[in-house]
């Protein structure tokens, strides 16, 4: 690609990177996917999954490519978080980083991978302060966005398999907010929200009696994603 | 500034720009501040207020500098909107643009300026499609963010003078949402929200009887900015 406009010629370009903040719920805990940084400065330190944007790809495509290169995952829910551009954020050069955050469903078998020779790993949220550069700040902002969204939009469903129990749904929300949520109130609210479609079957993996399975109502989901809904968390 | 890391040397840098999406309420209407683009491609077309980020300034500082250079305005409420980075978004070169949106209060005498020889002007929201490059998309996203925020957070207050009447507050919200809002319901909700502190004086500029003035409760404002509140719009 050539720079066409002579008016743009004197402008000094900057490096542009994408960093991915990828969340998943493992057991009862919200986790973050990181890897050991491969290049200097700070090679070997814990880092978000990131790479530079190429001159011939859009930033959204770059985010998808980077996620795929580092994890083998494709077609994952990704949302742009924020652009981070302090002059001194990276001692290796003047890099503007665009953060993208993702939620990975627990049923996609995505919680236990270590692909393409990259040492990716899931870490607890309380280890975020160990991340390199301004990656802690990025991850903190992503968590606060995730929590804010989860209060008003039915985003927790992105972390669940297609069919789930109310117990699993509660676990996801407790993991996101990192505090216990009153079980009875939660069930009442969720059932009242019209977000859930009861299925005529039970999950018996955790008890003999079993728990009813639900899937979520796409129509209500899209309406509430747009309109918002106060879940009272 | 030197690029220090040899690992970064092969990376092709991109141009980085900031574009400002600046809203104000003029009369009963939400307006957008634009100017006539000075450089090719598309010199003379309507454009958001934008410039390139310099290598030695952070992106937030760049946003403040650009707003100041083009309008003379300083210390304005600005929030990063989104980063726009399609490969072909600017035929002049590979430019990644970071959008920042702003709300300007009507009492700051900012609605009628034309400074520093730039032909800035306020246009109606329904003229957004005339904007150059992907600036229409940026402005549309900013409006939808503004509306979403205004539904859950007391952001309309950013557009008002320190002391205001309930009528002025209603006007701001009607301008943001571009539809009439039931007056009685609005007053009831607002008074119930504890966002307003009644003042022992009236604004008599529009009627002999006058309308009570209010200021907003900073404490409630900060709490609701954080927690959110469904205004029912």
Distance between first and last Cα of chain A: 49
Is the same domain home to A218 and A196?
yes
Q: Does A93 touch chain B (CB under 8 A)?
A: yes
* Residue A10 and residue A74 share a domain: yes
B143 and B158 belong to one structural domain: no
Contacts of A228 in chain B (CB under 8 A): 148, 151-152, 230
Whether A220 maps to a domain, the answer reads yes
Q: What is the pLDDT of residue A233?
A: 67
B94 in A contact zone (CB under 8 Å): yes
The enclosing domain of A206 has a CATH number of 1.10.10.10
Q: Is residue B58 located within the same domain as residue B160? A: no
Q: Is residue A64 part of a domain?
A: yes
Determine the Cα–Cα distance for residues A7 and A21; give it in Å rounded to an integer: 36
Chain B: residue nearest A89 by CA? Answer: B58
Q: Which of B13, B93, B228 sits opposite A4 (nearest CB)?
A: B93
Query: Chain A contact for B10, CB < 8 A?
Result: no
Residues B50 and B126 occupy one common structural domain: yes
**Pairs across A and B, CB distance < 8 A:** 135
Distance spanning both ends of chain B, measured CA to CA: 49
> Any chain B CB within 8 A of the CB of A11?
yes
- CA-nearest residue to B86 within chain A is A58
Mapping DSSP to helix (H, G, I), strand (E, B) and coil, where does residue B141 land?
helix
CA–CA separation, A2 vs A4, rounded Å?
Answer: 6
Q: Which of B134, B150, B166 is the last residue of a domain?
A: B150
Q: Is omega for the bond preceding A16 within 30 degrees of 0, making it cis? A: no
d(CA B169, CA B215): 11
Give residues with Cβ within 8 angstroms of B126, minimum separation 6: none
* Residue A94 falls inside a structural domain: yes
List the alpha helices (DSSP H) in A26-109. 59-71
User: Does a structural domain hold residue B1?
Assistant: no
Q: How is residue A14 annotated by DSSP? A: B
Task: Select the more confidently predicted residue: B12 or A142.
Answer: A142
Percent of chain B with pLDDT over 90: 42
Residues B37 and B111 in one domain: yes
Q: Which of B48, B57, B52 lies closest to B102, judged by CA?
A: B48
Question: Strand, helix or coil at B32?
Answer: strand
* Assigned domain for A232 exists: no
Total-model pTM: 0.85
Judge whether B138 lies within some domain. yes
Do A167 and A212 lie in one domain? The reply is: yes
Looking at the structure, tell me whether residues B204 and B103 fall in a common domain: no
Mean pLDDT taken over chain A: 85
Final residue in a domain of this structure, among B122, B150, B178: B150
In a domain, B232, yes or no: no
A16/B12 CB distance under 8 A: no
pLDDT (tens digit per residue) in B161-216: 888 999 988 988 999 999 999 999 989 888 888 888 999 988 888 788 889 999 98
Same domain? A130 vs A172 = no
Q: Which residues, in sequence order, are bridge partners of residue B80? A: B100
The DSSP code for B9 is: T
Q: B39: nearest CA in chain A? A: A7
Residues A87, A200 share a domain? no
**In chain B, which residue's Cα lies nearest the Cα of A84?**
B59
From the list A111, A113, A202, A101, the residue with the least C-alpha distance to A155 is: A101
Residues spanned by the domain of B131: 6-150
A225 or A17, which is more confident? A17
Same domain, yes or no, for A77 and A188? no
In this structure, what are the phi and psi dihedrals at residue A121, rounded to the nearest 5 degrees?
Answer: -155, 155
Among chain A residues, the shortest Cα distance to B5 is held by A92
Q: Is B172 helix (H, G, I), strand (E, B) or coil?
A: helix
Whether residue B94 is predicted with pLDDT greater than 80 in this model: the reply is: yes
pLDDT at A1: 43
Nearest by CB to A91, from B4, B41, B83: name it: B4
Q: Which element (helix H / strand E) includes A35?
A: strand A29-36
A57 prior amide bond cis, ω within 30? no
* A47 vs B39: CA distance, rounded Å: 40
H-run or E-run covering B180: none
Q: What is the ipTM of this complex?
A: 0.83
A126 with A157, same domain: the answer is: no
What is the rounded distance in angstroms from the CA atom of residue B22 to the CA atom of residue B101? 6
Task: Mark yes or no for CB contact B13/A13 under 8 Å.
Answer: yes
Q: What is the CA radius of gyration of chain A?
A: 20
Q: Give the total residue count for chain B.
A: 233
Task: Report how many domains make up chain A.
Answer: 2
Nearest-CA distance from A227 to chain B in Å?
A: 8
Where is the domain boundary, A150, A184, A206? A150
Looking at residue A85, which CATH number applies to its domain? 3.90.79.10
Q: What percentage of chain A carries pLDDT values higher than 90? A: 42
Interface of B with A in 96-115 (CB under 8 A): 96, 98
Contact predicate B152/B229, CB 8 Å: yes
Determine the Cα–Cα distance for residues A71 and A115; give it in Å rounded to an integer.
6
Per the domain annotation, does A1 fall within a domain? no
Most A CBs within 10 A among B2, B3, B6, B12, hence the mutation to make, goes to B12
């Amino acid at each position: 690609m050539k720079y066409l406009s002579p008016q743009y010629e004197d402008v000094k370009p900057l490096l542009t990177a994408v960093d991915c903040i990828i969340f998943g719920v493992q057991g009862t805990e919200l986790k973050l996917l990181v890897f050991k940084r491969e290049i200097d400065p700070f090679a070997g330190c814990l880092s978000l999954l990131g790479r530079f944007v190429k001159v011939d790809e859009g930033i959204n495509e770059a985010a998808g490519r980077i996620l795929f290169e580092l994890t083998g995952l494709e077609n994952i829910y990704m949302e742009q978080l924020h652009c981070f551009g302090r002059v001194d954020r990276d001692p290796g050069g003047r890099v503007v980083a665009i953060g993208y955050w993702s939620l990975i469903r627990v049923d996609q078998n995505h919680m236990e991978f270590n692909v393409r020779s990259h040492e990716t790993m899931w870490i607890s949220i309380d280890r975020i302060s160990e991340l390199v550069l301004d990656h802690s700040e990025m991850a903190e902002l992503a968590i606060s966005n995730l929590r804010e969204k989860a209060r008003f939009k039915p985003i927790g469903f992105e972390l669940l398999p297609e069919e789930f129990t109310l117990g699993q749904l509660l676990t996801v929300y407790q993991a996101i907010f990192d505090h216990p949520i009153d079980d009875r109130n939660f069930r009442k609210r969720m059932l009242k929200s019209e977000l859930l479609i009861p299925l005529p079957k039970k999950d018996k993996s955790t008890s003999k009696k079993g728990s009813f399975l639900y899937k979520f109502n796409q129509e209500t989901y899209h309406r509430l994603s747009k309109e918002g809904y106060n879940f009272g968390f």
